Amino acid sequence: MSDDRPDIPEPMKREVRQRCGFGCVICGSSIYQYDHMVEWSQLQEHTVENLTLLCGTHHDEKTKGLLPLATVQQANASPINVRNGVTEPYGLHYGPKAPLLTVHLGDNKFMAGVSVFPFFVDGDPLIFFQSTDDGVGLYVTLRDDYNRTVLRIWNNELIHRADLWDVRFEGTTLTVRDAPGDLRLVIRFAPPADVYIERAKFQYNGVQIDVKPTKVTVGGQTMSGSAMINVGTTVGWVIGDRHPEIESAFSWQDISRVPVKFGDGPPAVGYRQGVHVTDGSE
Ligand SMILES: [Zn+2]
């Protein structure tokens, strides 16, 4: 490795991420490094074609000579996540029980000792965070204009569609973009007990929840910054149809909605273990 090697340009990295399905081309891991298939010392240049994604283990194996170049090239030609249409699950390390769980949603904070539900839409929580005897679990569902799930965290297990425009997982922050400058999600994981949703476009049944660092709007209405805390369960905003078992002081039944798209959209992410996925036809 040469000292004067320039950084890989960001647009090139994004192209490589997308082509590789946002994971190690061999095992699909969301924690990866950029690998020059033919060594930098031989080519002395960065090219999209010669770059691939490998997790730490596979990268080490390649460096040691245990993983031949031909095997990496074969995986690069048909990355596992691209074949599956969905990324391999990544397990977030929200582990042991914590005294106070906190969801930071833009300029709002929702805290509780056992369960935190920042908002429900038509009785469905798009985010929740809970502590059980097994430990702390984070749950997040991000849907598209067709009401189909594009990214899901289910009991700390992160998966997402492999054909998004960009997903970047650097440090503790996961960033999803639909197009240049068009952010769908910026989420920062702070185990053991905090999650920061800095930016997000949540949508469900035509209800749009737009999260920005200083403002959250629901169906176009601004929700002023608030902090809610309870010993047991905190329920933030109840939006749309009420559910008989969900009680909250903050309820909006008449919320403006945009039409949900129907037709030939991209297919929903295929989830394992019978996790329910709502598709646009329901
Ligand atoms: Zn790997």
> What does the pLDDT look like over 105-114, one tens digit per residue?
999 999 999 9
pLDDT grade for 244, boundaries at 50, 70 and 90: confident
Does pTM surpass 0.85?
Answer: yes
Query: What is the structure's pLDDT at 249?
Result: 79
Mean pLDDT value across residues 164-170: 96
Higher pLDDT, 279 or 40: 40
The CA 29 to ligand 1 mean position distance, Å, reads 6
Q: How far apart are CA 39 and CA 49, in angstroms?
A: 13
Give me the helices (H) in the chain, please: 10-19, 40-43, 56-64, 69-77, 80-84
154 pLDDT exceeds 70? yes
The CA 28 to ligand 1 mean position distance, Å, reads 6
Cβ-proximal residues to 25 (8 Å cutoff; 6+ apart), any chain: 52, 53, 54, 72, 75, 76, 79, 80
> What does the pLDDT look like over 215-231, one tens digit per residue?
999 998 998 778 999 99
Mean pLDDT value across residues 144-160: 93
Q: How far apart are CA 267 and CA 280, in angstroms?
A: 10
Query: What is the structure's pLDDT at 104?
Result: 97
Domain ranges of the chain: 10-84, 90-252
The CA 112 to ligand 1 mean position distance, Å, reads 37
Query: What is the structure's pLDDT at 269?
Result: 56
138 pLDDT exceeds 70? yes
The CA 142 to ligand 1 mean position distance, Å, reads 26
The CA 198 to ligand 1 mean position distance, Å, reads 29
